[in-house]
Amino acid sequence: MQDVLAMTYYWLKAGHIIFMVFWMAGLFMLPRQMIYLHSAAAGSDEAASWAKRMGLLRKVILSPSIAVVWILGLLLAWHIGAWSQGWFHAKLLFVAALSGFHGYMVAQSKKMVAGERPLTEKQLRMWGEFPGIALAVIVILVVVKPF
């Protein structure tokens, strides 16, 4: 029985890492696609192509990945008893911030598809750095466990 539980942990961890990579890739791609849409003329074929790409990114990569990351992450936390560990609380805070970023960028991308331009290209470039910074902090928290 112990072997089955140990293998379950490794499968959960592998799935969590795989879908975290998918999610992060999507979070890196969305602001970039929004920059490309930003410069496309409203109603043009180019704008329609970028709108379609962003919709597919949201539906095929971002939405499923965030759900699987959260589910597997919470199962892993339960499995290893992480709820009492300081590093886990900090990680959870950063993952919640990334989730908020995800929601914010999805909302802004939908506004852009509708023809609005709520963010400047410079703002989109700045926001595009956030996932990388959060990822670095999360990896340090998980690997080093500084507290």
Residue 16 known to bind ligand: yes
Domain extents for the chain? Answer: 2-144
User: pLDDT tens digits for the chain (147 residues)?
Assistant: 667 767 899 999 999 999 999 999 999 999 999 999 999 998 899 999 999 999 999 999 999 999 999 999 999 999 999 999 999 999 999 999 999 999 999 999 999 999 999 999 999 999 999 999 999 999 999 999 999
In whole angstroms, give the CA distance from residue 135 to residue 26: 13
Residue 91 known to bind ligand: yes
DSSP 120: -
